[in-house]
Amino acid sequence: MPDQGVDVSFDPNAEPQFTFVPDTVTMTAAGKIVLHRRPQIAPWTFKEGSIKGNGSTQFSSTVHGNGSLLHIHDEFRDEFMARHPYTITVEFNGKDYVSPDPVIVNDPGTGGTAP
C-alpha cells in the first residue's frame, strides 16, 4: 500500500503531547506517508521528520501547506520486513517539540524480518 495517511495531534500541555493515528504505518512499496495536522487549524506547524537507524538513507521528508502537512518519502529498499521508528518536530509559540517514536513498517511480502 503506497501513500499512507497519518493524523497527528499535538498539545504541549497534554500527556502524551503527541498522538498518531495510526501509530504504525505499513508500506508494501515505495511511496509516501502524509502526516496531517489535526485539527487542521491547530496553532502548531510541522518542521521536519527524521527516521532513526540504518534505514534513514531510504527516507526523506518535506513540509507542505505552510506546515500543515509533512510528507515522509520512502524509497522502500528493504528486502525483508523492517521496522523504522521516526520522530517529527513541530513548532509551537516559537519552541520546537520532538515526538516519541511512531513506526513505519516496510513489508516486501517475503515473510521474513530484517536481522
pLDDT digits (tens, 9 = 90+) for 42-92: 999 999 999 987 666 899 999 999 999 999 999 999 989 999 999 999 999
Q: What is the DSSP string of 35-61?
A: EEESSTT-S-EEEEEEE-SGGGGGEEE
Rounded to two decimals, the pTM is 0.91
Task: Give strand pairing partners of 14.
Answer: none
Q: Which CATH class is domain 4-106?
A: mainly beta
Question: What is residue 94's predicted lDDT score, i.e. its pLDDT?
Answer: 97
Show the CA angle centred on residue 9, arms to residues 75 and 70, nearest 5°.
30
Contact 53, 84 (CB under 8 A): yes
% of the chain at pLDDT higher than 90: 83
Residue 42 grid cell: 491547530
Q: With CA atoms as reference, report the closest residue to 30 among 87, 88, 80, 72.
A: 72
